[in-house]
Every structure is written in structure tokens, then in C-alpha cells.
Homo-oligomer: A and B are copies of this chain.
Amino acid sequence: MQKPTLSQIAKQLGLSTATVSLAMKENSRISDQTRARVKEALRESGYVYQRSAAGLRKSKTDTVGIVLNNVSDPSFSEILRAIEGELAKEGKTVFLCNTDEKVERQSEFIRKMSEYNADGIVLVPAMGTQATDLEEMKKFSPPIVCVSREISGYPIDSVVADETIAGYTAAKHLLKLGHRRIAVVGGTVNISPFNRRMKGIRQAFDEAGQEFDRALVFECRPVRAQGYEAAARILDVEDPPTAAIGYNAIVTLGLKAGLQRLGKKIGVDFSLIANEGIDELQHSNPPLSTTSIDLQEMGRVVIQHLLSRISDPTAPTKLTLIPTELILTDSVSPHR
């Protein structure tokens, strides 16, 4: 005889599965009477709830924590959608944390997820997260996979965009169009991909025999408002740039709006290349060129890594680079 499922029992009793589940755990929010009814039905059906298992370290809670540095960044919504889709197939519930780039909030959330015996954690490390922060957590944390940013000097599974190539192809294209004064906007040396990106950009300049001007690097938090505000600073330098490469999608969208406010015509007298592959880049005016990355794929790979790590905690750590592709629109044109 097939053992009945929890939902069959719930249906039989006219209760929700949530109520049955809580009654089984003798949660006091469920009335004594309902708890007794559930107990009786379970006994009759031969359903065995392995209550003792729930407290064990090895037990699965089917919960995964996802830690985002900036919950309003639409590129993460896209990765999230992929992650949630993959995890739904596995019957796992997602708990999110918005660190707002605060390392302590990140630690506190991971600690709580540990206490709740989460199966694993996906982490976009807050700016300035150190190897020591993770080392500390290793003692109690469930498996962690980093996405979008790495923790330098710390062995942890990571899935990041191939930023060196992204920077290289964007700069190479602008150089080919005759631009020499190229600004780089957003990100800081506190975020790992920034350094990869700069490496690629410098390489393109070297190959073209051009000198890269460090004064045209405008570091800032990669958010829309800071891109907007950077516009004035960019146009204020002596011999101002005629093109810019944005660190991510939103900082570039902010920069675009800021430049337009100051009278620049994007794709006519100023060329702009963004990063990441969110829809909004195509839904802006003009649509923005981008070193695009398949965010859905990125989310899928992250979950593959996390599931492997959960099933084999001692395997060597892996770094996966997701390829990027230069997608050109009317936002870039030859230097004139």
C-alpha cells in the first residue's frame, strides 16, 4: 500500500497542508482539537513524521538564503528569477536578504540562516567583504556560492561575468571608432570585478598603442543615482571624454539620463556602452549598447554549483566565468 502524502491527509481532513504540517510539529498556534484530529488521521493512515530528524544537522530544511547587495538592481532580479525557478523545481523556498552593501547585515543574515539549518546560501558579497568575514562564517554556515562578485584570496565557489573580456571588447570597439578619451564609470576597487574590467580596458589601450588616462575613471557605487551625478563630473574635466563604459546596467542608465540632461545626444555626440543584459537597456531611449551577459544562465550555473556543493562539501572550489557579448545599438558612433 502506498503511504499517503501530507496533502492527501490534509484534503481528507479539510485542512491546509500548512495547518497539518504545523499540527504535526505540535505548534501551539494550532488548536488542541485540530492537533488531535491530525494525530488520529496520521495514526490511521500509517503516516510517520520523522520529528526527531527535524532537529538534526544533516536534515534538509529545503530553504536557501540569497544575499543581495542591492535588491533593487534589476540585473539581480533576473538572476533571482532563474535561481527561484531552479529551486522551485527542487521544492526549496528562497529567503532573501538585502544587505545594502553592509557587511554586518550580511553576517547577521547568514548566522540566522545557519540557525535555521538552511541548505545553502547564494551570496553577492557586500562591498568590502573580506576573506576573514567568510572564514569566520565557515565554522557554522551552510554551503555558500558567490555570484557576480568574488572574495579575493578566499577559496569559495564563485560564478562571475568574464569582466576582463567585457572591458576589453568595449574599449577596443570605442578605440576602433576613433575615441581616445574614454571614461569608465561606476564600481570601485572594493568590488572584485572592477579590477578584472580595468585589466581588459588597459589591454585594449595597450594594443591600440594609446595611453589610458586614469583620471577618466570615475569610481562610485554602481547605482542609478550615482551614475546620474557622475555626468556633470565627466563633462567638467579638461579635454572631456567622448565616450564612456559603465560598470553595470543601472549606473549606465543613470549616466545616460544625466548626460542627456546636460544636453548630450547619446550616440551622436557621446557614445555609451553599458554592461549586463537587462531589458531596460533596450527599453531606454536610445537603447544602450552593452557587454551583455546571459543572467538566466548565470542563475542556472549558480544553482548547479550550490547543489553540487551541498552534496559534496569537500570538493575543490570552482570559479566559473560567464561569457559576455558586445551588443551594439545606436548609443555608439564614430568619434567626430
Contact = CB atoms under 8 A, between A and B. Distances in A.
Nearest to A18: B111
14 contacts: A16-B139, A21-B111, A21-B115, A25-B115, A27-B114, A29-B114, A71-B77, A84-B105, A95-B96, A116-B116, A225-B280, A225-B283, A260-B285, A261-B285
A302 to B, nearest CB: 16
Interface of A: 16, 18-19, 21-22, 25, 27-30, 56-57, 63, 70-74, 76-77, 80-81, 84, 93-98, 100, 105, 107-109, 111-112, 114-116, 136-137, 139-140, 224-225, 228, 254, 257-258, 260-261, 279-280, 283-285
Stoichiometry (number of copies)? 2
Contacts of A140: 18-19, 22, 27, 29-30
Nearest to A229: B283
A110 to B, nearest CB: 8
B100 A84 contact: yes
Contacts of A137: 18
A197 to B, nearest CB: 24
A76 B73 CA distance: 12
A27 B224 contact: no
B97 A95 contact: yes
Contact of A112 (B63, B71, B97, B115): B63
Nearest to A58: B28
A22 B115 contact: yes
A19 B139 contact: yes
Contacts of A95: 95-97, 109, 112
A74 B72 CA distance: 5
A57 B27 contact: yes
A84 B72 CA distance: 14
Contacts of A284: 257
A280 B25 CA distance: 47
Nearest to A96: B96
A137 B21 CA distance: 13
Contacts of A224: 279-280, 283
A96 B71 contact: yes
Given A30-B139, A97-B95, A107 B18 contact: yes
A323 B221 CA distance: 32
A88 to B, nearest CB: 8
Contacts of A105: 84
Nearest to A256: B285
A49 to B, nearest CB: 13
B57 A29 contact: yes
A98 B98 contact: no
A93 B99 CA distance: 11
B18 A114 contact: yes
B98 A27 contact: no
